[in-house]
Structures are given as C-alpha cells and as structure tokens.
Amino acid sequence: MSKMHREGDSGSEEATTLLSRDVGGAFRLLLAANPLPMWVYDLETLGFLEVNDAAVAHYGYTRAEFLKRSIADIRPNEDRARLHQILAERKDAFGYSGTWRHRRADGTLIDVEVTSHILDWEGRPASLVVAHDVTETRRLQEELARRALYDEATGLANAALFLDRTADALERAKGSLCVGVVVVGLSGLDALSSMAGDAAADALVAEVARRLGSCCSENETLARLGGGRFAVLCETAERDGVLRLANSVAAALEGSLSVPDFGELRAAPAVGVALGDGGDLDAAALVHDATSAMRHAAERGQRSFLFANPALRRADLEAFETERALAGALGAGELRLFYQPVVDLHDGGVVACEALVRWDRPEVGLVGPDRFIPLAERSGLIVELGAWVIDHAIAEAATWPGRPAHRPRVGINLSARQLHDDRLVERFIGACGASGLSPASVCVELTESAFVATDDYGAYKSLAALREMGIEVAIDDFGTGYSALSYLTHLPVDVVKIDRGFVAGLGADRADALLVEAIITVAHGLGLRVVAEGVETPAQLQALCDLGCDAAQGYLLARPTPSEDLPGVLDAATRAASGRAMTGAAPRGGPKMSAVSMRRTFPPAAS
C-alpha cells in the first residue's frame, strides 16, 4: 500500500495501514475517534460506504442519510462536472488532494480541503477521504486581501490598487489613448474629526465618495488615497474627456455637504489633474503630479481645478530645496525677528507686539514666513524653529525700553505640533528666567485650526501650564475654521483675534459688520478681549471703534519692523491710532475671566 498523497495526515495514513492489515475493528475505531470528517466511498458507484461521527456532526446528515448518498450529492450542481473529470483522470492514481465546495444538509456551502487515498474495502476499490473545513480561513484570507486593496471606510480602491490600475492603463495607452488622473483633496477633515468626532468625519467622507461616484463611469476607477484625498483614473481617446471629468468632479463638490447630526458643511475641495500617454511618465509620477497640482490649487484657494505643468514641478523642486536649506538656516544664524504692534483702541497705547519670523536667505534676501513656515510644519522643523523664536523673542522683549510693567507684551505664535512637545513649558520657563522677562509680558497665539487640531488633554494641559505661569493665550485667525461662536466657551484663551478676512469688508459690507459685532459681543460676554487683524483703512478702524473692539493690528497702524527700530514704530502706531475717533471702543483691556474660572473649560483628564 502506498503512502498518502498529502504528507503528515497521520490519521488517514494509519487508518489505511490498519485496513491493509485486515484489522477492521481497529480501523473503525480510529475512524470514529478522528476529530475531522472522514469517509470511505466506492470508486465505481461513488456511494458512501462508511462515515465517521465528525462527518455526521459537521455536515448535518444522519449516518443513514450519508450511506444513501454519493460524493456527488454533497457538491453543488455546478461542481459535479469537475468532480467526474478529476475522478476519470485519477482513477488509477494513488490519491488526490485539493479544495472543493461541499453542501451541508441545511444547504449552506463550505470550502473543504480534502485528502484521499485509494484502498481496498471489503474486496472493492474505494477511496478514504479526510475533509478539513477551511471556510473561515478562506474568508479571513479574502478579507485580508480586500483590505490590502480597498479602503475600509468607503469600499473604494485604495492607493495601492489605484497605482496598479494606473500602471495598467499607461501600458495600454502607448500613445494611442490619454490617461488622466484627477486627485481631490479635502481641507479641514482632521479638524472636523477633532471637533465633531470621527463619525462626522466618516459621514463627510462617505458623502464625498457618493458624489464623486456619481461622476464616474464603469470604466473609470474611483479611489480613496487616504485621509481626505480621493482620485479618479480615466482612459479616453482625447484630452477633452479628462477635462469633462475634472469639471464634473469640481462641480459635484460645490456648495455644502449634509453631514448627519452636524448639519451642512463645506468640503473646501481642491482638484489637481495630470495627463499621461504611456510614454516616459510612470504611474507613481502621474499620481504625484496630480497630487502636487491639487496641493497647489489648495494653496491658491482655486475653486475649479489645476493642471500639472512644468511650472508646478519647478515649484515642488524649489520647495524641496527650500526645505533642505531651511534645515541649516537655524545654525547659520539666518533667521530674524520682526515685530508688529497691537494698538489699544481706547487710548492708542501699544499693548503688544507680535513676533514674526523672517529668513534672511543668502543670495535670495528676506523671505516671508508664508514661504517657509508651511514647509517647516510639513517636515517637523517647526518645533526647532519655534524654540528659536521663543528664546529670541523673549530675550529681545526684555531689552525694550521703558519700565517692565508698561512694556507691551510680546506675542509668540505656536503651531499645533509645538503643543505636543514635552519641553514646551520648560522652554518658556527657561527663556523668561534667562532674560528676566515676566511671563505676564508674554502672549502665545494659536490659530483657530491649531486649537481644533489639538483638541486633546495633552495639548490643553500644556496651555493650562502656560496660563498658570501668567502667560496669556490668544486664538488667532478666528472665524476661518469649522468652529462656531459657541466653541469659544471651550477654549482656554484670554484674547480673540478676528481674522483679516472679516475686517476687510468693514465700512462697506453690512454682513461683515454683523459678524464682527457678534464675535465681539460673545467674546466680551465670556470675559475675553478682542483684537482685529489686518486693519488697512481708516474706515475699517472707525468701524471697529464703533463696534467696541478692544485693539487692532495692521498696516494702517504699523508694519512689522526689527526690534532695534521698534521704539520709533511704537510712537508712530500710537499717533496713528490716537488720530482716529475711538468713542465706541470698550474700556481698555475689557473684562477678563480669571485663570480659575477658565480652567473649568478644559476637557477632563483621561482616566
């Protein structure tokens, strides 16, 4: 008697050995004791000759029902032709191993790995079979394979599958077709998740996926690349087909999106498009170009879409080189601090000076923060750069003329990433101690989006520690993010800085005046002072005074200036503000909530 076809199946091998020695009782005992379903069937009639208890329990047939059936009866109809073909091919073979679908008594189908062996059963040719149910194993394998290629939240293709299909499309194109990749990016998704919860963000993603799906044909691939990024792949005979798709995508996301339990939201989409024809450009490069165009569209605030082009590629290369040069700028002493005054609208005095970093780049000149701060955020250099600003701003503020109690506060901008730096509080303690500047002469500023993005206990704990030191906290660019006025009640802040976008329409747009008035009223009701940013015209300044705003900042009053030129600029800013009508301004400083009462707004510590 030969060995089993599958090595290691000791149960069936031992049973065959026992049967070959005519130890029938021992064979049946081993058959009955095996935990896997086993049976013997007639090679001529295919009828069952013997089954064990495990087969009866697993398949749901009684022993008598089994013995009235053939092995074809436990297969679905569509698999029976394959069964007879394999049996015909292997009739004289020693055995067979493979995977089959079997039908249980209740009609359910299961995937089974079988191992069989030819033997003699009471004088007739027969086969001994051991069956192993692998249905769950296969399901798990298929699920893992699905997750490797599809986005779990939306069911769309993921980045890996999209890249693979793009490569296939480029291979088919070879100059005869145009391959287009359209990448869509949603801004503020992380902020929405932090503020309203993952369920709201998932609902927004699902709605975006639904709308994008309505733009795509069966021949186009829609994918979620990750986070708030989606992509569409299309193959068309002409460039106009890609243009039509890009227009449809942009139009589908216009206006507000309805999110359950959160109302109407604007997705703020940016769309980038790249074209390929199967030439030198590979799939990764094509997707990269479309993603780059999307990012540039977002930075420009472009409402439709932007095509990838050589200028954008040069901009990306420039950004890479800038990021690399920025890494050495700190050690080379190339950074400078400028200060822009904040003027009290009650008496015209300068109450603060915001520190603004500039990069004196060799062979380029003075570079504004909008050119390198986003790169520092992206690369992680912002923590090191921020530490430099803290040290130098506090040290320079300590040298400003006048009695310490009457000097303006120094405003220092912080990023969301800095709030998660364990050394942040120690940095302020060390800088104030080394310079002799009181923490009460320091104000840290975070943008509204940074507050929302750091809505966790660790970040709030850092802010609480800074406020315990006496450092003021301001929310910058208020009104530009997802938060409503009611969100102010949850923020550990002393000052609200109204974004310049609202200030721009003052004196000309009644709607802007109403919005600014609402912010001022709510902020004052919460004991917060209000600063208006971007004041550039006398009409804007007068409107702010009439609305009761506490302070203002902008080019009308003073431009950013180096520390050594600050005394003259402070006098000029005071004169500029004092020359305006301020009868409507709130009393200097406005009401102020105590640190104890503000502390109640912090989220509870994790237990």
* pLDDT computed for residue 216 by the predictor: 87
* pLDDT computed for residue 172 by the predictor: 85
* 207 shares a domain with 95: no
Q: Examine residue 320 and state whether it is found in any structural domain, yes or no.
A: no
* pLDDT computed for residue 605 by the predictor: 29
List for the chain the helix, strand, coil content (%; round to 5).
45, 25, 30
Write out the two tokens for 154: 């939306």
Is residue 231 over pLDDT 70? yes
- How many domains does the chain contain in total? 3
* 477 shares a domain with 383: yes
Nearest to 555 by CA among 534, 581, 531: 534
Domain boundary among 247, 279, 308: 308
Q: Examine residue 605 and state whether it is found in any structural domain, yes or no.
A: no
Query: Domain range for residue 89?
Result: 10-138
Is residue 595 over pLDDT 50? no
- Any idea what the CATH number is for the domain that residue 61 is in? 3.30.450.20
* 297 shares a domain with 254: yes
Provide the 8-state DSSP code for 482: S
- Any idea what the CATH number is for the domain that residue 513 is in? 3.20.20.450
Q: Examine residue 258 and state whether it is found in any structural domain, yes or no.
A: yes
* Positive/negative CA dihedral, 487, 493, 494, 495: negative
Terminal Cα distance for the chain, rounded:
68
The answer to whether 421 and 459 have CB atoms below 8 angstroms apart is no
* pLDDT computed for residue 262 by the predictor: 62
Nearest to 569 by CA among 583, 580, 551, 555: 555
Is residue 586 over pLDDT 90? no
* 504 shares a domain with 390: yes
Taking all residues of the chain, what is their mean pLDDT, rounded to a whole number? 81
* pLDDT computed for residue 411 by the predictor: 96
Average pLDDT over every residue of 543-548: 93
Beta strands in 483-549 (DSSP E): 495-498, 529-532
The per-residue pLDDT for range 156-210, each reduced to its tens digit, is 999 999 999 999 988 888 767 889 999 998 876 766 666 667 777 788 888 888 8
DSSP codes joined into one string, 149-166:
HB-TTT--B-HHHHHHHH
The share of the chain scoring above pLDDT 90, in percent, equals 35
* Positive/negative CA dihedral, 546, 547, 553, 555: negative
Q: Examine residue 220 and state whether it is found in any structural domain, yes or no.
A: yes
* Residues in contact with 373: Cβ distance below 8 Å, sequence separation at least 6, in sequence order: 357, 382
- Any idea what the CATH number is for the domain that residue 210 is in? 3.30.70.270
Write out the two tokens for 255: 């206006």
> What backbone torsions phi and psi does residue 470 show, to the nearest 5 degrees?
110, 0
Is residue 487 over pLDDT 80? no
The per-residue pLDDT for range 392-451, each reduced to its tens digit, is 999 999 998 877 777 899 999 998 888 888 899 999 999 999 999 999 999 999 887 777
Q: Examine residue 3 and state whether it is found in any structural domain, yes or no.
A: no
Domain boundary among 109, 138, 167: 138
* pLDDT computed for residue 478 by the predictor: 83
* 571 shares a domain with 455: yes
* 158 shares a domain with 127: no
* 419 shares a domain with 492: yes
* pLDDT computed for residue 263 by the predictor: 67
* 517 shares a domain with 429: yes
The per-residue pLDDT for range 87-141, each reduced to its tens digit, is 777 654 445 678 889 999 999 999 999 988 888 888 888 889 999 999 998 888 8
Write out the two tokens for 41: 């069937």
The answer to whether 292 and 229 have CB atoms below 8 angstroms apart is no
Interatomic CA distance for residues 158 and 155, integer angstroms? 9
* 413 shares a domain with 433: yes
pTM over 0.75: no
* 290 shares a domain with 235: yes
Is residue 604 over pLDDT 50? no
The answer to whether 182 and 251 have CB atoms below 8 angstroms apart is no
Q: Which carries the bigger pLDDT value, residue 192 or residue 560?
A: 560
Query: How many C-beta atoms lie closer than 10 Å to residue 259's C-beta?
Result: 21
* Residues in contact with 356: Cβ distance below 8 Å, sequence separation at least 6, in sequence order: 337, 338, 339, 340, 369, 413, 560
* pLDDT computed for residue 266 by the predictor: 63
- pLDDT bin (cut points 50, 70, 90) of residue 454 is low
- pLDDT bin (cut points 50, 70, 90) of residue 305 is confident
* pLDDT computed for residue 223 by the predictor: 94
Query: How do 38-42 and 124-133 pair as beta strands?
Result: antiparallel
The answer to whether 449 and 481 have CB atoms below 8 angstroms apart is yes
* 330 shares a domain with 290: no
* pLDDT computed for residue 329 by the predictor: 86
Q: Examine residue 319 and state whether it is found in any structural domain, yes or no.
A: no
Q: Examine residue 200 and state whether it is found in any structural domain, yes or no.
A: yes
Domain boundary among 90, 105, 138: 138
- pLDDT bin (cut points 50, 70, 90) of residue 483 is low
* 370 shares a domain with 518: yes
Q: Examine residue 314 and state whether it is found in any structural domain, yes or no.
A: no
